[in-house]
Amino acid sequence: MIYFDNAATTRPSEHAISAMLSVLRDDYGNPSSQHSAGQSAAGLLFAARRKVASILGAAANEIFFTSGGCEGNTMALISAAEYGGSQGKRHIISQQTEHHSVLECLKSLERRGFEVTLLPVDSEGRVSVGDVSAAIRSDTALVSIMTANNEIGTIQPVSAIGQLCREKGVLFHTDAVQAAGVLPLDVKKLCRDMLTLSAHKFHGPKGAGALYVRTGVPVTQLIFGTQERGRRGGTENLPAIMGMSASLADAVSIMPIATERTAALRDALIEGIAALPDTYLNGPRYDRLCGNVSFCFGNITGERLVYELSRRDICASSGSACSSGMSEPSRVMLAIGRSTELAKGALRLSLSALSTADEVEAVLSAIRDIIYSL
Ligand SMILES: *Cc1c(COP(=O)(O)O)cnc(C)c1O
């Protein structure tokens, strides 16, 4: 099998698996218990929190463990909205190609009386800092712009937007789920108030994530209970949290070498597909996630391509994992100006540090076969 769907999820690393197994077997105490088993679990939990915090340049008490990206995004948006609402600020700024979890949460906030400005993106999927600046009002509670797009790999000018928000005194959140292990995540440098991570996108387990929230920004409780300093109830999923902290540390430590290597494979794939007739690259040619390749095809739908690749034991995607399976054109493709017809023809191939040049060759030759046999 060739797995080129790393934007949907990644293979857990051996390090993450062994960290998880060890806790499952030997440290099953509840971190809230006072006895030795509980205290030992609490010690591991604190070490994991400190490790994740130090990687982000944050303090340990600024990290909230969650079930992943959707929960982190929801927690960030609801928290900022309620905090803003309490000060009479009911306006939120975001952009059209955000993850479903952000867009759906914003819709729900609209039903609760918030006003949402969804900024457009350019033909490469980039939001303009000038547009963000012009959209900020005295009643703006939050700006939420993803660090990088999961479908077309566009990297947003997040540090400039973070700087702008800080100058204007507006809270800023970024969904950095696709950026972990790919781009530097220093929250202080990027002036970020809130940042979302999800472990299964960087070779950790599913069902674990972290939300960074700057000290001073109040967090709304979505799940009631005493854990996470009373902000997120539920006995901590310690095995998954240990797997996440191990895989995040690994992802960050190999980042300089891994991203360069993955980008070279990505470029070979892009050049190979671009040489085929009637193919259109989605997102920027260079300044994009090192593992992301996305194309529209004029003469075959993305779904058909994914199906044909799957018959050859190659895992790819026709959009985001959440929107594929629906035959609607992707709203990300429409946002960058693709016609409804072309938008149905999207193919996403997403690589990881585990991908190889042989796999790239095999996938290119499979795509050539499929296209020329039609
Ligand atoms: C995968 C993904 C999410 C959702 O993360 P889960 O852990 O699956 O809830 C959110 N945002 C982006 C950009 C993603 O790629």
pLDDT value for 138: 98
CB-based pocket (< 6 A), ligand 1: 68-70, 99, 101, 146, 150, 175, 177-178, 198, 200-201, 209
pLDDT value for 317: 95
pLDDT value for 262: 98
Which atom belonging to ligand 1 lies closest to the Cα atom of 209?
A: 7
Provide the token pair at 368. 């050539």
Q: What is the pLDDT of residues 53-103, one digit of tens each?
A: 999 999 999 999 999 999 999 999 999 999 999 999 999 999 999 999 999
Q: Give the Å distance between the CA of 173 and the centre of ligand 1.
A: 15
Which of 115, 108, 119 has the alpha carbon at shortest distance from 90? Answer: 115
Which atom belonging to ligand 1 lies closest to the Cα atom of 9?
A: 1
Q: What is the pLDDT of residues 243-284, one digit of tens each?
A: 999 999 999 999 999 999 999 999 999 999 999 999 999 999
Task: Tell me the pLDDT band of 351, cut-offs 50, 70 and 90.
Answer: very high
| Angle at the Cα of 273 from the Cα atoms of 270 and 278, rounded to 5 degrees | 125
What does the pLDDT average to over 201-226?
A: 97
Which atom belonging to ligand 1 lies closest to the Cα atom of 320?
A: 15
Q: Domains in the chain, please, with CATH?
A: 2-10+254-373 (3.90.1150.10), 16-253 (3.40.640.10)
Q: Give the Å distance between the CA of 324 and the centre of ligand 1.
A: 14
pTM of the model: 0.97
CA 361/CA 91 separation, integer angstroms: 49
pLDDT value for 323: 54
Q: Give the CA-trace dihedral at 265, 8, 370, 301, to 10 degrees.
A: -130
Q: What is the pLDDT of residues 290-312, one digit of tens each?
A: 999 999 999 898 899 999 999 99
**N- to C-terminal Cα distance for the chain?**
24
Please indicate whether residue 322 is annotated as part of the active site: yes
Is residue 251 within 8 Å of 203, Cβ to Cβ? Answer: yes
Q: What is the pLDDT of residues 1-29, one digit of tens each?
A: 999 999 999 999 999 999 999 999 999 99
Q: Give the Å distance between the CA of 104 and the centre of ligand 1.
A: 13
pLDDT value for 340: 87
